[in-house]
Amino acid sequence: MISNGSSYCTEMRVIDVNNLSFNYTNNSILSNISFEVYKGDFIGVIGENGTGKTTLLNCINGSLKINSGSISVLDKDINGYSKSELAKLMATVSVGVNSSINPQVCDFLMLGRYPFTEKIWWETDEDEKIVKKIVNQFKLHPFLDRKLRDLSNGELQQVLIAKGMIQTPRILLVDEPSSNLDLKHKIQMMNYFSFLSHGKKLTIIIASHDLNLVNRYCNKVILLKNQAIYKIGKPTEVLTKKNLEVVFQVKVEIIKSEVGDLIMPYMDKIEKRRNTIE
């Protein structure tokens, strides 16, 4: 299969998605999805609500069984991995957490090491070392003794991403990484991901609605429309005025700036609508 877009480290293919289709009962969610992911890629999956962004992540991590096609991870069919084996290779950060659990943050973070334990749970010195390192990187010390439900949405998001990194994955899947984060923490998180993909060659795939963050940080973009790939490639190839207006059905402006292109909805339209409402 032909690779689309550029990658930071093309000598190792990490994920191969070939003609993937997924349905809920008779409702098609994803149709004939094909792409390759290489070591160190930082990929942004974008599209309207309901186009299958989150579903795609859950197919890649094995949570959902695809109806047709194939997914290979490190040149091995995903069905050939046990759940424990996949968890050692891949971490998934979803939006929110199961409301029925409410552990202390310190205990919740340690769960990131669970795939590496034997049948009887007992953390090792190495586990504690890894947790301590990530806690320091994310500056989570003030949260450690608090319960998950006592955290703000932004604090919880940081904890969830930290737990994913505690798994020491080779592949990180993140659904809405900037969700609930303020501007400072949003930029810090994306800078951290960029460092991991560039410097540590961690492969990262995010599903996001923030086009400007995807444009600034990702080296490859997958644009979904009608449950299929509309365009895949470099941000400059995918995030064009024409493509965005077709997919999102709104007029956009691409504004040149010192930090790169900024994608904005067409402001005159917004002003007219505001005047109409008033």
The answer to whether residue 153 is domain-embedded is no
Q: Are residues 226 and 246 in the same domain?
A: no
Q: Which two tokens stand for residue 242?
A: 């024409």
Q: Which two tokens stand for residue 219?
A: 């080296």
Tell me if 105 sits within 8 A of 148, measured CB to CB.
yes
Residue with tokens 């334990």: 117
**For 141, which DSSP code?**
G
| Mean pLDDT of all residues in 251-276 | 77
Q: Are residues 18 and 86 in the same domain?
A: yes
Q: Are residues 259 and 229 in the same domain?
A: no
Look at 71 and 114; give whichever has higher pLDDT: 71
1: nearest Cα among 37, 39, 55, 46: 37
**Against a cut of 0.85, is the pTM above it?**
yes
CB atoms within 10 A of CB 44: 27
Q: Are residues 200 and 255 in the same domain?
A: no
Q: Read off the pLDDT band of 276 (50, 70, 90).
A: low
Question: What per-residue confidence (pLDDT) applies to 116?
Answer: 82
Q: Are residues 89 and 182 in the same domain?
A: yes
| Domain, as residue range, for 244 | 240-278
The answer to whether residue 21 is domain-embedded is yes
The answer to whether residue 107 is domain-embedded is no
| Mean pLDDT of all residues in 166-190 | 93
| Mean pLDDT of all residues in 181-186 | 92
pLDDT, tens only, 87-146: 999 999 998 777 678 899 999 999 999 888 765 566 788 999 999 999 999 999 999 999
Q: Are residues 182 and 224 in the same domain?
A: yes
The answer to whether residue 225 is domain-embedded is yes
Question: What per-residue confidence (pLDDT) applies to 8?
Answer: 47
Question: What per-residue confidence (pLDDT) applies to 274?
Answer: 56
Q: Are residues 17 and 96 in the same domain?
A: yes
Q: Read off the pLDDT band of 2 (50, 70, 90).
A: very low
Tell me if 229 sits within 8 A of 18, measured CB to CB.
no
| Mean pLDDT of all residues in 27-47 | 97
Q: Are residues 64 and 77 in the same domain?
A: yes
Q: Read off the pLDDT band of 266 (50, 70, 90).
A: confident
Q: Are residues 252 and 180 in the same domain?
A: no
The answer to whether residue 138 is domain-embedded is no
Q: Are residues 177 and 85 in the same domain?
A: yes
The separation between CA 227 and the C-alpha centre of its own chain, rounded to angstroms, equals: 18
pLDDT, tens only, 145-173: 999 999 998 999 999 999 999 999 999 99
Alpha helices in 50-94 (DSSP H): 53-60, 83-89
Residue 10 predicted with pLDDT over 70: no
**Does an H or E element contain 33, and which?**
strand 27-38
Domain count for the chain, please give it: 2
Q: Are residues 269 and 203 in the same domain?
A: no
Look at 121 and 247; give whichever has higher pLDDT: 247
CATH code of the domain covering residue 195: 3.40.50.300
Question: What per-residue confidence (pLDDT) applies to 236?
Answer: 95
Q: Which two tokens stand for residue 206?
A: 């995010």
26, 176, 197 from 183: Cα distances, Å? 40, 14, 21
Q: Which two tokens stand for residue 216?
A: 């600034």
| Mean pLDDT of all residues in 193-205 | 96
Tell me if 215 sits within 8 A of 260, measured CB to CB.
yes
| Mean pLDDT of all residues in 26-46 | 96
The answer to whether residue 77 is domain-embedded is yes
Round to whole Å and give the CA distance between 142 and 111.
Answer: 19
Question: What per-residue confidence (pLDDT) applies to 1?
Answer: 40
The answer to whether residue 157 is domain-embedded is no
Residue with tokens 């963050």: 213
Q: Are residues 183 and 230 in the same domain?
A: yes
Question: What per-residue confidence (pLDDT) applies to 269?
Answer: 52
Least confident of 67-71, 85-89, 116-120, 243-247: 116-120
Give the N- to C-terminal CA distance of the chain in Å, as an integer.
Answer: 54
Q: Which two tokens stand for residue 185?
A: 């923490």
pLDDT, tens only, 13-32: 999 999 999 998 888 999 99
Residue 6 predicted with pLDDT over 90: no
Rounded to the nearest integer, the mean pLDDT of the chain is 90
The answer to whether residue 151 is domain-embedded is no
